[in-house]
Structure 1
Amino acid sequence: MSYADKLFIDMCSDIIENGYSTEGEKVRPKWPDGTYAYTIKKFGVVNRYDLSKEFPAITLRKTYIRSAIDEILWIWQKKSNNVHDLNSHIWDEWADEDGSIGKAYGYQLGKKHKYKEGEMDQVDRVLFDLKENPFSRRIMTNIYVHEDLHEMNLYPCAYSMTFNVTGNRLNAILNQRSQDILAANNWNVVQYAALLMMFAQVSGFEPGELVHVIADAHIYDRHIPIIKELIKRPTYPAPKVTLNPEVKDFYKFTVDDFMIEDYQAGPQIKNIPIAI
């Protein structure tokens, strides 16, 4: 199995066997039929993925790697908050009539700030520091901006990245306040692994560790039977994912610059109910 499979299976088993149930508590999410969506959750889950060993895509079911990368480019490269700039429809339910999700995600990364070196947005600041001051302990982003929360159609879930160089390896910590494990876990892992690979290549480093910190890692009540079936499935070796070595500018990457080889996975799970 891939190492991502092992982490996923162990995490899900731990949540189901040892997690805390929110049933009967005052919760915000609801199912489409209007009933409250309760969860079993664990606090403070930390998973580590070494990108020098393998790309962290699970094989229990297929993660649509190119679609995940398209979304991360929408946020970090296009710095967009409009779903019309995205090739999938996963954000449509949070968009207004003009396609905007408010002052969230890409909007925050594209907002310029004053530094001693000049005005830059958060993405350009990371790229600047990785080139000019790579051993800094201050290379980070944060899109959970309190003064703008009231203008966000969805509060950021994955909200902070901290980058750290060790030798010739670029590592990163992804902080996430909340995660729907079935719907989003490996999707987010794949996205930020791809982002780390891109930043490493354009900055002259090798990809290192991605550390994923989840404050509230939860499985929704209606997802528990699906998860139980999923983690009993056969597993396969991790796919090989490589980048076009010719691209040296982060803003030149496209999904076609990712080569995905030998990705064998179990059948897809369709019509997963999503709590809103």
Structure 2
Amino acid sequence: MDAYSNIVKKVLNQGQIKENRTGVNTIAIAGAMFEHDMDQGFPLLTTKYVPFALVASELEFFIKGITDKNWLQDRNNHIWDEWCSPAKVAYGHDDETRKKMMKERELGPIYGFQWRHFGGGYQAWDKAPVPSGVDQLKHLVATLKTNPDDRRMIVSAWNPMDIGQMALPPCHYGFQVTVINGRLNLLWNQRSVDTALGLPFNIASYGLLLTLLALESGFKPGTLVGFLGDTHIYENHVEGVTQQLERKPFTLPGIETTAFSSIFDWQYKDTVLTDYRHHPAIRFEIAV
């Protein structure tokens, strides 16, 4: 997938050393753009293994508006393990704090809550918000079906009122859907981009969301576009991404969804990849 490889090359060639809250320096550039035509295949990297089940189960987690870390863990998804709501455990790097953060299940009003209850009064993972807030995703789907030429089909996860309660402020903070010539396009915005570890997941997640919204509305999948802000590679990831660039990509996989009735009833196991050929996995340490 050249669009991804070109971003990696740009960061490596033009990036500057930058400090950040994690204590691990990055090589960073001030913005990039990702673009992929879904007719070319599903945008999952082939130069390393990317576990699609983790991408899909996290997306279901967001769509359902869940904020309980245990829901993911019950599905063998551990990508949120290191984080929790700062209202429960104040963020810190020391071992004792990290252990407490790992044990706490409360993530606070993160992505899915904002998608489904924006402006709602967040209480806890197991309590309904009061008031319930705005169901942005439901509104987007309804507009897509009744007025697909609308240019206001936007879902935002960036809510300054709730950031202090979130396990992590949204990295990908909003997305927009447009329909042009019978094709559904999805454009997402991202403030902070972990190019080696996070971006492949973000690309696949929004590619899957685009696919599901196309199924929901009857339009053909179109173009996936990412507007990327602080785009960086952690210094301890350079060796891994350099190895990726040396590998010859395989043809992109296909994607199939069975028994689809609604995006709101969809479960991650309903969608599978077809013909996913890939190089071996590359381990990248996560910066918390």
Q: Which amino acid in the other structure matches residue 175 of structure 1?
A: N
Matching residue of 2:262: 249
Measure the CA separation in 2 of the matches of 1:262 and 1:106: 30
Tell me which moved more, 132-141 or 102-111: 102-111
| Cα distance in 2 between the residues matched to 1:113 and 1:130 | 22
2:193 and 2:29 map into 1 onto residues whose CA distance is 10
Summarize deviations over 1:101-145 as a string: whole Å, max 9, x none. 11211121221669xxxx850110111111111111000011110
Structure 1 stretches of at least 4 aligned residues deviating more than 3 Å after TM superposition? none
Q: CA deviation at 1:260?
A: 1.3
CA contact (8 A) 1:140 1:163 kept: yes
- 8 Å CA contact 2:110–2:168 kept in 1: the answer is yes
Question: Mapping of 1:129-144 within 5 angstroms?
Answer: 129-144=143-158
Residue 190 of structure 1 aligns to a residue whose secondary structure is: helix
Matches within 5 A, 1:138-157: 138-157=152-171
2:97 is the counterpart of 1:83: no
The residue that corresponds to 2:87 in the other structure is: none
Q: Retained in 2: the 8 A contact 1:82–1:100? A: yes
Counterpart residue type for residue 44 of structure 1: G
Name the structure 2 match of 1:102.
108
| Residue number in structure 1 paired with 2:223 | 209
Distance 1:259 1:112 in 2: 30
Q: Select 1:93's aligned residue among 73, 82, 87.
A: 82
- Name the residue aligned to 1:59: 46
Q: Provide the rounded CA distance (Å) in 2 between the counterparts of 1:219 and 1:99.
A: 29
Q: What is residue 34 of structure 1 aligned with on the other side?
A: none
Which of 176, 181, 187 is matched with 1:167 structurally?
Answer: 181
Go from structure 1 to structure 2 and tell me whether the alpha carbon gap of 1:13 and 1:133 turns closer, same or farther (over 3 Å shift).
same
The answer on whether the counterparts of 1:68 and 1:191 sit within 8 Å (CA) in structure 2 is yes
1:19 to 11, 15, 22: 15
CA RMSD of aligned residues (A): 1.7
In structure 2, the residue matched to 1:258 is: 271
Contact 1:50 1:209 in 2 (8 A): yes
SS of corresponding position for 1:59: coil
Structure-2 separation of matches of 1:19 and 1:273:
20
Letter of the 2:240 partner, please give it. I
Scaled by the length of structure 2, the TM-score of the pair is 0.84
1:262 maps to a residue whose letter is D
Counterpart-to-counterpart distance in 1, 2:233 and 2:116: 32
Q: What secondary structure is seen at the aligned counterpart in 2 of 1:182? A: coil
Gap regions ≥5 residues in structure 2: 85-100, 121-132
Partner of 1:33: none
Q: Does 1:192 align with 2:221?
A: no
Q: Counterpart of 2:41 in 1: which secondary structure? A: coil
For 1:127-169, what per-residue CA distance to the aligned partner results, in whole angstroms no more than 9, with x for missing partners?
A: 1111111111000011110011111121110110011111211
Does the 8 Å contact 2:3/2:36 carry over to 1? no
* Contact 2:69 2:107 survives alignment (8 Å): yes
Q: May I ask how many residue pairs the two structures share in their alignment? A: 256
Tell me if structure 2 keeps the 8 A contact 1:242–1:260. yes
Contact map agreement 2:4 2:34 (CA 8 A) in 1: no
Partner of 2:25: 38
Deviates more, 1:173-182 or 1:78-87: 78-87
1:79 is displaced (CA, Å) by 0.7
Contact 1:113 1:121 in 2 (8 A): no
